[in-house]
Amino acid sequence: MAYKIRLRRDTAANWTAADPTLGLAEWAYETDTDKLKIGDGSTVWTGLGYMQTQGVQGTQGYQGFQGNQGYQGNQGYQGNQGNQGNQGDVGSQGNQGDQGFQGNQGYQGNQGFQGNQGFQGEPSVIQGPQGNQGNQGDQGYQGEPSVVQGPQGNQGNQGFQGNPSTVQGPQGNQGNQGAAGAQGNQGDIGSQGNQGNQGVVGAQGNQGNQGAVGAQGNQGNQGNVGAQGNQGNQGAVGTQGNQGNQGNAGAQGNQGFQGFQGFQGFQGNQGNQGNQGLAGSGELWTEVNTTADRTTTGQAMVNVADLSIALLASTTYYFESELSVASSATTGNQYGVQFSIAGATLGGFMSGSQSATVIRSEAIPAQGVAGTTIVRVAATGSVWFKGSIATPGTGGNLTIQHLKITSGTATVHRGSTLRARAA
């Protein structure tokens, strides 16, 4: 059975004329302005502000179990934003409302085109600062080994860097290693010249094909080390070219799909339960919670302690229950709804963990009658009730019941809830 959640609604003029007092956490909608108000249980309509600013956040209440996800509706129109009023005093926090439906996320757009690369500038005629060292040139021919080792001379200026060869030559035989000569004194280091402006970087040429690698010759004896040649002068570095214009940014695409909503976490520990009063008429919910784990080992339906609400005579109520449960054996547990006075009319559905991977839903049986077996072995499952009850001419107690099939223990964990309100 599908359920729709609809807010109270009317035109702004009719709301103002009626000037009702909305219940605590009750939402109301103006159909001609697309604006919302949320009641506090005591302030009339004209005294409430529109839902547009966020007040100081109150203490967060205990989180309930997540119900079955309903069908997703279309997203409504966004109303105009009104002028921001002065911030009022922070009121007490009411019960947490049901979670609204989440809209679809838009498609993600295509990535924009990359801009063109800028033009390469002309080379400068003015020498810029010293650039990175170029590739090492080809090695010169090796002379005949000397029979006499001379002293090492002073180091000269660095020679011009040669262009790299595209063809690797064969490796010669290695000569015998000669005796090392005495090392000469190191010359003085010359003063460093002024740094010039940076030149334009010339266009980069196409990379040539790699030459074939020659066959490797036999390794000969290592020869004597020859004297080191003079170092050539450093070549001029060209000026750097102007940077090209940045390309246009591509148009932003549609927003992608919304991901799936994650599972609701387990409910935290519940505080101490206050004394239970009679559920009166109106739209406020009366809620009770289990203050400890409640168990049974019997095969007859028994009340779950704490999960009982007193109802008035001859009144229709809506009720909901969310249970965190466990079974110690594969035979499973069973659950139902009871009213202490005969003659009540029940309607609604219950859902629960039929196995570790299957959820089963069915209509709520008559009062005090168990539903389908709920199987959950050595783990925690969930059971949900949602329905209505018309009480007979005498008031009584609405209660959740459970039993254990065959043997073992059926457990309703602390923090499970039952709530009801008059229709």
CA 349 from centroid of its chain's CA atoms: 34
pLDDT band of residue 278 (cuts 50, 70, 90) is very low
Mean pLDDT along residues 329-352: 90
Contacts of 172 (CB under 8 A, 6+ apart): 142, 217, 220
**Which H, E and C letters describe 190-210, residue by residue?**
CCCCCCCCCECCCCCCCCCCC
> DSSP assignment, residue 12?
H
pLDDT, tens only, 202-215: 667 677 677 676 67
Core vs surface per residue 3-35: b (16+ CB within 10 A) or e: eeeeeeebeeeebeeeeeebbbbbbbbbeeeeb
Mean pLDDT along residues 275-293: 73
pLDDT at site 282 = 46
* Residue 187 or 347, more confident: 347
Contact between 159 and 229 under an 8 Å Cβ cutoff? The reply is yes
Core vs surface per residue 210-224: b (16+ CB within 10 A) or e: eeeeeeeeeeeeebb
pLDDT, tens only, 162-174: 666 666 666 766 6
Which range is least confidently modeled, 52-66, 87-101, 141-155, 159-173? 52-66
Q: What integer best gives the mean pLDDT of the chain?
A: 75
pLDDT at site 358 = 81
- Residue 21: strand pairing partners: 44
pLDDT, tens only, 359-384: 888 888 888 787 776 766 556 788 99
Does the pTM exceed 0.75? Answer: no
Mean pLDDT along residues 292-321: 95
- Residue 30: strand pairing partners: 10, 35
pLDDT band of residue 126 (cuts 50, 70, 90) is low
pLDDT at site 269 = 62
- Taking CA atoms, 389 is separated from 118, 132, 311, 384, 397, in Å, by 77, 88, 10, 16, 11
Query: How far is Cα 241 from Cα 128, in angstroms, rounded to an integer?
Result: 12
Q: Are strands 302-311 and 359-363 parallel, antiparallel or unpaired?
A: unpaired
pLDDT, tens only, 213-232: 667 767 767 767 667 767 76
pLDDT at site 51 = 85
Terminus-to-terminus CA distance in the chain, angstroms? Answer: 19
pLDDT, tens only, 76-119: 666 677 677 677 676 666 666 666 566 566 566 566 566 556 55
pLDDT, tens only, 236-275: 766 776 776 776 766 676 665 555 554 555 565 666 665 5
> Does residue 280 carry a pLDDT above 50?
no
Domain with CATH 2.60.120 in the chain: 286-422
CA 182 from centroid of its chain's CA atoms: 71
pLDDT at site 381 = 84
Q: CA angle, 376 as apex, 374 and 380 as ends, to 5°? A: 115
* Residue entry with tokens 């956490």: 25
* 286-422 to CATH, choices 2.60.120, 1.10.3470, 3.40.50, 1.10.1060: 2.60.120
Give SS3 for 46: helix
Task: Rounding to the nearest 10 degrees, give the CA dihedral for residues 23, 25, 26, 31.
Answer: 130
pLDDT, tens only, 385-407: 999 999 999 999 999 999 998 88
**What is the residue type of 244?**
G
Q: Are strands 380-390 and 286-289 parallel, antiparallel or unpaired?
A: unpaired
